[in-house]
Amino acid sequence: MAAGKGETMKHGFVKVAAVTPKIKVADTVYNREQICEEIERAAGHGAKVIVFPELCLCGYTCQDLFLQERLLDSCKEQLIKIAEFTEGKDALVFVGLPLEREGKLYNVAAAVHDGEILCFIPKSYIPSYAEFYETRHFQTGNKEAVSVFFDGEEIPFGTNILLEAEGMEGLLVGCEICEDIWVPQAPGISHAMAGATLLVNLSASNETIGKDVYREMLVKSASAKLIAAYIYCSCGEGESTQDLVFGGHDIIAENGTVLAKSKRFENQIVYADIDINRLRMERRRMNTFGFDDSLNYLVIPFALKAEETVLERSFPCMPFVPSNISEREKRCEEILSIQSMGLKKRYQHTGCKKAVIGVSGGLDSTLALLVCARTFDNLSIERKNIFAVTMPCFGTTDRTYDNACKLAKTLGATLEEVNIREAVTIHFRDIKQEMDNHDVTYENGQARERTQILMDIANRENGMVIGTGDMSELALGWATYNGDHMSMYGVNAGVPKTLVRHLVQYYADTCGNDELQKVLLDVLDTPVSPELLPPVDGVISQKTEDLVGPYELHDFFLYYMLRCGFEPAKIFRIAQMSFAGMYTDEVILKWLKTFYRRFFAQQFKRSCLPDGPKVGSVAVSPRGDLRMPSDACVRIWMEQLEELNI
């Protein structure tokens, strides 16, 4: 049953396809047979929007055969058969052909669905430069839709036409043809400003050296600036090679990211699962993306069945961390530069010459100390002005203590040790806290004592306390309020935990100091822990990820909730795919519930964060990306998770 308007495909995913069939020039019957075979394949694979190349019904390279009436009539005949073939296929199909209107010839895309020809969209820009001479045959298409009489029906004809899917809220399709994307005022711009979320391009782009790179850049750029999905489909083998070669370069992009592309010189079908809901969220978020109500567009509805798309799209387990090594190294260098430049400006503004930082031998404080060292080098301030303070207490192990000391000494910082056992013991006595009661007071009392010491040393030295907490901890509220939560500048506030590890690894790999590298590698090998509970046989007894869950899961949840605006059920669905074989569905759901509970409950800590630099597309600063009330209710998010059946 066709879906009524307002119904949606699950989570906004829709499968699309770009198809380059092998054709014969001017053999419209053969080409129609190939097109129908490919429609059958693509629709059978679940594609709901299927795009073929420019003039594929007869071939782009027909030259003066375009002026032959027999060719034009045959294209009409074969298009009617293609339309009949699509009946019951549940897909919107775009096919290119030449079409005469009022004595002039146009290069058009026919939009076909469920046995009907919905409209003809003509090419706007007709090239006649270099190897192109289309003005010899074709006219520029009209913008405002008019009617043409075709096969006994009046069918809309014009560039200002959008096709709206009734079974997928937000799927609005606009079309342009080949050259249209290469010009300054591409029709796709108007289409997007009129509401189109998916743009299709029927193309015949020949191959020359390096052209594929530029072509891909155009498609990525168009999809990015228009916050849209883009299907680019070009002709390939079968076109005439008299003077040109066509490589069948098909590209499907979404908001600046290529989801799929074909191998050139191999006629293929490429599929991608575009995320309409993600695009809608991006447009809502980006308030400078404006719709133009003055544009005169005809919107033609077509029905799609409401059903769940079988996803072939992948979602990286670590969305904050590039999988490509060279890209990751570039990212790490850039982040370290952002962190150190942010801190440098703070020192230049205040005239301060000293830093105070609590070092624990853990990842976060290690990264913060490395950033301090880099900043002081940039400022030509001696590293001895960095006071690395280690404050052992009840949970400190020899391993972390030794690493903290070695790290400070190797970097040339001034190491200062303040054992806080006695001070905390007296404090517990004063507030009547039993020493064997290892509750939250026992833990937080130590954290706040450490922060007090750092602040007072900073006063003593006329220095600044540099915060060490990372963005993942802030998202979960895994910080002691007015303890490690507080500093004078938080250099790690925009860095998620999964990326902290890679930043330290990158520093170890590039520092050129064997002794420093050895310490950093041991820090990387140490379990993440606040070390606020006594160790067992000298080994860390309190592992953060045992308590709040794996950070790789929480960073995954954080990215897709804040950056992409995904609902909980959608995040769970893609997490099942991304972490298959690593975590069971039950474990993923458990920690996803924990993430939402903690994220909402702990906003009050984020509402009063110290200053710190944003480094990526996600941030939780109350002065930056995240404006959220501290008393917002998590109920409707949790209700959706409770409804999941696993």
In CATH, what number is assigned to the domain containing residue 595?
3.40.50.620
Q: Is the pLDDT of residue 1 over 50?
A: no
The answer to whether position 392 is within a domain reads yes
**Average pLDDT value for residue range 202-206:** 98
Residues 68 and 196 in one domain: yes
CA 601 to chain centre: 26
Residues 345 and 285 in one domain: no
In tens, the pLDDT along 73-100 reads: 999 999 999 999 999 999 999 999 999 9
**Average pLDDT value for residue range 357-379:** 97
Cross-strand partners of 233: 202
15, 89, 123, 344: which is the annotated catalytic residue? 123
Range of the domain at 418: 325-642
Q: Is the pLDDT of residue 122 over 90?
A: yes
**Average pLDDT value for residue range 171-187:** 97
pLDDT value at residue 202: 98
Q: Is the pLDDT of residue 148 over 50?
A: yes
54 part of the active site: yes
Residues 120 and 186 in one domain: yes
The CA distance from 116 to 113, in Å, is: 5
58, 178, 332, 393: which is the annotated catalytic residue? 178
Q: pLDDT-based confidence at 530, cuts 50/70/90?
A: confident
Residues 238 and 341 in one domain: no
The answer to whether position 320 is within a domain reads no
**Average pLDDT value for residue range 163-173:** 94
The answer to whether position 315 is within a domain reads no
How far the first Cα of the chain sits from its last, in Å, is 28
38, 54, 134, 176: which is the annotated catalytic residue? 54
The answer to whether position 492 is within a domain reads yes
- Contact (CB, 8 A) for 255 and 227: yes
62 part of the active site: no
In tens, the pLDDT along 401-446 reads: 999 999 999 999 999 999 999 999 999 999 999 999 999 999 999 9
- Contact (CB, 8 A) for 399 and 426: no
pLDDT value at residue 6: 39
In tens, the pLDDT along 329-364 reads: 999 999 999 999 999 999 999 999 999 999 999 999
Q: pLDDT-based confidence at 541, cuts 50/70/90?
A: low
pLDDT value at residue 504: 97
Length of the chain measured in residues: 646
Q: Is the pLDDT of residue 542 over 80?
A: no
Residues 402 and 502 in one domain: yes
Residues 284 and 192 in one domain: yes
Average pLDDT in the chain: 95
Residues 397 and 473 in one domain: yes
**Average pLDDT value for residue range 174-199:** 97
Residues 444 and 561 in one domain: yes
The answer to whether position 311 is within a domain reads no
- Contact (CB, 8 A) for 556 and 578: yes
In tens, the pLDDT along 220-237 reads: 999 999 999 999 999 999
Amino acid at 552: E
- Contact (CB, 8 A) for 92 and 43: no
Number of domains into which the chain is organized = 2
327 part of the active site: no
Residues 224 and 265 in one domain: yes
The CA distance from 80 to 107, in Å, is: 17
Question: Look-up: residue for tokens 């050139």?
Answer: 264
